[in-house]
Structure 1
Amino acid sequence: MASIYKRGATYTVNVSIVKNGKRVRKTKSGFKTKRDANYWANDIEHRKNNDELSAVFAPDITVPEYFGKWLETYKGNIKSSSMTVYLATLHTIERSDILSTTKAFKLTRARAQQYLNEFGSTHIRSTTAKRKTQLKSAYQDAVLDGFIKVNPFERTIVTGSDPKDNDLKFLETDDYLLLINETKLVPTVNNDIILIGALTGARIGEILALTTDDIKDGVIDINKTEQSATRTIDTTKTKSSVRLIDVPVWLTDRLNSSYQGRLFNISQGAVNKAFKKLQTKLEFKNIVSFHGLRHTHASYLLSKDVSIDYVSQRLGHANTAITMKVYAHLLSSKRLQEIDKTISLFDKGLQ
């Protein structure tokens, strides 16, 4: 920051700059007005910032190099789980025939679109959209920093295949209830984890982060999560993910009598493997991931006319709009049932 002070009838400006690797003070006096002094100080600060940025973002760096430097400069303090997603994007563009050798500040909108088309040819549309969002954000900073005038990802089109049928993400109701009974009757570490997931809809990381302090009388307190890659404890995915979930008292009694301290010492991969093995053993119609158990829990409650507000709170969604978006297909079928019931009431009343 520049300092400006009045000396006699004129103003003097002091600005700290880096010269030959050392921080020195640059001073200029004789400004007749404070406004003139501010203009000069702002110009020096602007040039200083550009020099510092240019030292980080060399003009001839490639797209992957720029994205990596951008992560270090502007995203250094984000959560490790979010950084993992950004690093996945970095690895993707490093392998891209289109972007790997392209100069970052000479990337055209047409070439950016070619990359999205290339990526979308092997990924679903939502994954391509995430890649575009991250790259567009990085290049928006390049615009703000004065390296380019136009963001090459502006108004590009997201491509990709449509996701598989949503029904495959859910267990059939009979299979879901069988799973609860099976894991309830056979108490093992894996079964307890699966049982908690089935009865709460909690994410696998949230369950693996649980301690006995989080197990109340008929309530499970979700207030942290385990990162899959490092198995370290971190804050929850969002603020709304911190929540209290009502469960049967027999479940909390079972957990409190079986565990001390942190409940589970097992990787997420091992749990997913055990869960799929159990589904195969029970001959389920659809084999789902552990996250599919979360969808099954919510779908079952909604199908039994549990209010969407309460289901949304159990899942830790910020609002019901998110729940409605995820379960739109189920809610749509429920709406058709309500329409039939309404028309039937009027038909009977008019007979």
Structure 2
Amino acid sequence: MAIYKTEKGWRADFSFKDGTGKYRKKSKRGFRTKKEAEAWIAEYSVSHSSPNLKKGSQLLFSDYFAEYTELRFGAGLKESSRESWISTKDHIVNVYFKGLTLDQITRNTYQTFLNHYSQGLRRASVVKRHQIIKQVIMQAFHDGLIQIDPTYGVTIPGSESKSAEEKFIQVDEFNKLIDYIESSEKLVKWNTSFMIYLVALSGLRAGEALALTRSDVNVDEHTITVSKTKQRSGVSTAPKTKSSMRTLVMPARFFENYQTFVSAKTKWNDRLELFDGRITSDQNNIWLKKVEKQLHFENIVSLHGLRHSHVSYLLSKGVDINYASKRLGHSNTMITQKVYAHLLREKQESEELKTLNILDKI
């Protein structure tokens, strides 16, 4: 078996014994990549009953994953999806599957990976990575490179997600957090705390807040326009969905503090981004959780949980769910109803009591 580069691509030579015991040689050239040549040899060896070669034994899973990823990118993927694939390749495939060929990934191997990777993670996070890896393995299975699907029937471990009630802070805690920031000029001027203040009053996604520029904030009209979102690569792209393109009205109290925040900044980047090109909300989450513990909040939530809390607050005050859904940038109200089902049930129970009281007085 030999694979080498020629002027017209890659060439593969495969030697084998025929039925009479004589050695034969099969060659093929013109492969675009070395991996294509390796795949051809693997397939040809199986068809000629070579006892020590299998289709998947010549291909490292990491190489196959990388090649499949490039094909996916070529077909067009959103920036956020590209980041998920790259992260899976760098932090999972190249770590947990390092040096393994396709045929060496058995169900036991794969389940062992899931058990180790899931330590300290939510099950939902493990599922996201599993779905990407499974997609590549299934492609190898359908290509005939492996004889079984090692992801079939595996158990996805990981801790359960928070209950719906645990994803929000209480109404009084919501007010306390806003008051805590507003009462300190230092916190109003600081990028980290002002962004938390912004999310609390707007319900923006973290990426949408990070991508905001001065031109997105209309002080005269008291609005913020959402037209982009920040990716971990540092690139600002179109928002998650078409409905995410929106203009939000903001309270007067926000703009009073916004003017203080803007006036305190002595340096801006070329795009005039409010938060100086920051690409993640990690620092915000660390500070927010620290403050929540300091203020003795019942639930400790992330910046995304603060977005949930924003809508929770609005719904508790009787704001219509259709408006709340548009403010969040959801593509339809069904998404909003699913996320905030427990709040809507509470509201329904409250409305039922009102109805009974009205009918009892007839």
TM over 0.5, shorter chain: yes
| Cα drift, residue 344 of structure 1 | 4.5
Residues 151-173 of structure 1 show CA distances to partners (whole Å, capped at 9, x for unaligned) of 44356553433123443332221
The 8 Å contact of residues 206 and 225 in structure 1, kept in 2 or not, is answered as yes
Structure 2 spans left out of the alignment, 5+ residues: 10-28, 43-55, 263-267
Aligned amino acid, residue 245 of structure 2: V
Number of equivalent positions: 305
Q: What SS does the aligned partner of 1:255 have? A: helix
Q: What SS does the aligned partner of 1:68 have? A: helix
Q: What SS does the aligned partner of 1:75 have? A: helix
Residue of structure 1 aligned with 2:258, choices 246, 255, 259: 255
Relative distance call for 1:281 and 1:75 in structure 2 (3 A) is same
Residue of structure 1 aligned with 2:236, choices 219, 225, 233: 233
1:219 aligns with 2:213: no
Relative distance call for 1:146 and 1:325 in structure 2 (3 A) is same
Partners of 2:38 and 2:239 lie apart in 1 by 33
1:54 aligns with 2:53: no
Aligned amino acid, residue 127 of structure 2: A
* Greater relative contact order (Cα < 8 A, sep 6+): 2
Relative distance call for 1:21 and 1:305 in structure 2 (3 A) is farther
Matched with 1:167 is: 165
Relative distance call for 1:336 and 1:250 in structure 2 (3 A) is closer
Residues 48-104 of structure 1 show CA distances to partners (whole Å, capped at 9, x for unaligned) of 8898862486742233332233223323653443333223433224443xx545432
Relative distance call for 1:69 and 1:181 in structure 2 (3 A) is same
The 8 Å contact of residues 38 and 59 in structure 2, kept in 1 or not, is answered as no
Matched with 2:189 is: 188
Matched with 1:89 is: 88
| Cα drift, residue 122 of structure 1 | 4.8
Partners of 1:221 and 1:293 lie apart in 2 by 19
The 8 Å contact of residues 81 and 227 in structure 1, kept in 2 or not, is answered as yes
Report the TM-score when normalising by structure 1: 0.72
The 8 Å contact of residues 208 and 230 in structure 2, kept in 1 or not, is answered as yes
Matched with 1:44 is: none
The 8 Å contact of residues 56 and 69 in structure 1, kept in 2 or not, is answered as no
| Cα drift, residue 202 of structure 1 | 0.7
Partners of 2:64 and 2:253 lie apart in 1 by 55
Identity of aligned residues (%): 35
- Listed as ranges, the matches of 1:285-300 within 5 Å are 285-300=298-313
Partners of 1:285 and 1:194 lie apart in 2 by 18
Runs of 4+ in 1 over 6 A off after TM superposition: 47-53
Aligned amino acid, residue 230 of structure 2: E
| Cα drift, residue 251 of structure 1 | 2.7
- Listed as ranges, the matches of 1:105-254 within 5 Å are 105=103, 107-108=105-106, 112-113=110-111, 115-117=113-115, 119-120=117-118, 122-143=120-141, 145-148=143-146, 151-154=149-152, 156-185=154-183, 186=185, 187-190=188-191, 191-216=193-218, 217-228=221-232, 230-252=233-255, 254=257
Partners of 1:219 and 1:318 lie apart in 2 by 21
| Cα drift, residue 116 of structure 1 | 4.0
Partners of 1:318 and 1:140 lie apart in 2 by 31
1:337 aligns with 2:338: no
Aligned amino acid, residue 86 of structure 1: W
Q: What SS does the aligned partner of 1:288 have? A: coil
Relative distance call for 1:88 and 1:302 in structure 2 (3 A) is same
